[in-house]
Amino acid sequence: MDLDKAHTLLTSKTPQFNTSSNFNQAYRQKLIENLSLDSQGRPFKIMVFRGSPKSSRKSIRFVDELRQEVAAIFEKDCKQTPYRCIPKGEKRVLDAPRLRNDYYSNIMSWGINNILAVALGPELYLWNSEDQAVHKLLQVRGGNDWPTSVTWSEDASTLAVGYMCSNLQLWDVESSKLIRSLQGHSGRIASTAWNGHILTSGSRDKSIINHDVRAANSLASCIKRHADEVCGLKWSTEGNRLASGGNENLLYIWEASKMSSSKFLHRLSDHCAAVKALAWCPYQNNVLASGGGLSDGCIKIWNTEKGICINNIETKAQICGLEWNRHHKEILSGHGYSIRENQNKLCLWRYPSMTKVGELGNHKSRIINLCQSPDGITVISAGADETLRFWDVFGPPTAGAGNSMVSDLQGLLSFRTSLLR
């Protein structure tokens, strides 16, 4: 550790050890050669800085070129990525005379056969979306009864129709014949939902009935847990869970295997008004969206496995319907009365952030129902202004950013009205 002595030993030519001077001289020469010459015998200099070597410059240029190439690919991909435009107006408007202004009714259903069934007062019409043909399926005689719920079966072979006076009927649309009447309710049937061969109905009599349409005695189970009218019913895509909303502001989650015991999976009481709007997420099996009435105005996203609310957004308006976008992670809400905003509007929300993407709407009165086309591109809104409005709000992106002008033009030209009947 004595630096002065170490320096002296290295630089002094005077022998410092009692050893042979020849050995010292030979050793010293060998040491000098190893320190000052390289393996080729050329002078070797330690710690010479001559700037960045060419190889380094080459590697830096290579990295720059690589970055430019990646940027070019990214820019190309961005240019090729289709731009999706939210429509400015309806694709089509159908006149729907005598459509009842009833928040609790569910008077529309669009089957996989591409036929829209809609109840207009005492009559029920079928509209073929392929050839625009209209057919009247039924008409109720008398002024005290009318269809309050319309739902296609999953294969669109049967149409279930619930009535104001507690009737529940199954219709064969192809032959325009009544197949069967199902019994069990004593009040208005405003909500129905299919799960395979099981038809579930909810009534003003506060009960939920599961009908096995294959059996002679169709009543499979009857549940009475709601304290007021059952105004919303939706089976999950897998068919293992049922969501039911009531006019007493409660939301129940039921397991299909345990419904006969009337034992619910979850009883959720976060809403402050009737729970009519229900929609299961198409890409997360255990996620359910629910919407509250005028005094609530909230869309709540639920984890039905744990029974907890994972998101909540205040829309400040009555929520009459909810539809998930199957092509993008979005959900559409249809609104009725409002004190502040979103009145009679359709609002598109990005999921899971629930930030608003945009608004649509030209209804002059509140929206009563929403339903979605089989291909998941078009949504129909039924309004109390007696119109059905078709919106191409879902679906794959349009072919390019330039199509936004076309979309705007189509929006301006879309206010053509035709009669449903």
In whole numbers, what is the pLDDT of the chain averaged over residues? Answer: 85
Which of the two residues, 293 and 260, has the higher pLDDT score? 293
Cis peptide before 15 (omega within 30 of 0): no
Non-local (6+) Cβ contacts of 288 within 8 A are 234, 236, 243, 253, 278, 279, 280, 281, 301, 302, 304
Whole-number Cα distances in Å, 38 to 43, 51, 53, 143, 271? 6, 21, 20, 111, 85
Task: Decide if 201 contacts 195 (C-beta within 8 A).
Answer: no
Q: Using CA atoms, how far apart are residues 141 and 136, in angstroms rounded to an integer?
A: 14
Three-class secondary structure of residue 386 per DSSP:
coil
Q: What is the DSSP letter of 83?
A: P
Non-local (6+) Cβ contacts of 66 within 8 A are none
User: What is residue 77's predicted lDDT score, i.e. its pLDDT?
Assistant: 47
Q: Using CA atoms, how far apart are residues 347 and 359, in angstroms rounded to an integer?
A: 5
As beta bridge partners, residue 364 has none
Non-local (6+) Cβ contacts of 357 within 8 A are 86, 330, 348, 349, 350
Three-class secondary structure of residue 93 per DSSP:
strand
Phi, psi angle pair for 172, to nearest 5°: -90, 110
Q: Among 20-24, 145-149, 341-345, where is mean pLDDT lowest?
A: 20-24
Of the pLDDT bands very low, low, confident and very high (cuts 50, 70, 90), residue 85 is confident
Percentage of the chain surpassing pLDDT 90?
70
CATH superfamily of 102-314: YVTN repeat-like/Quinoprotein amine dehydrogenase (2.130.10.10)
Q: Which helix (H) or strand (E) segment is 22 a member of?
A: helix 21-36
pLDDT of 56 > 50? The answer is: no
What average pLDDT does range 158-172 have in this prediction? 98
User: What is residue 381's predicted lDDT score, i.e. its pLDDT?
Assistant: 98
User: What is residue 160's predicted lDDT score, i.e. its pLDDT?
Assistant: 98
Task: Give the Cα-Cα-Cα angle 418, 420, 421 (nearest 5 degrees).
Answer: 115
In the chain, how many H helices and how many E strands?
Answer: 4, 29
pLDDT of 222 > 60? The answer is: yes
User: What is residue 420's predicted lDDT score, i.e. its pLDDT?
Assistant: 61
pLDDT of 63 > 70? The answer is: no
Phi, psi angle pair for 34, to nearest 5°: -70, -30
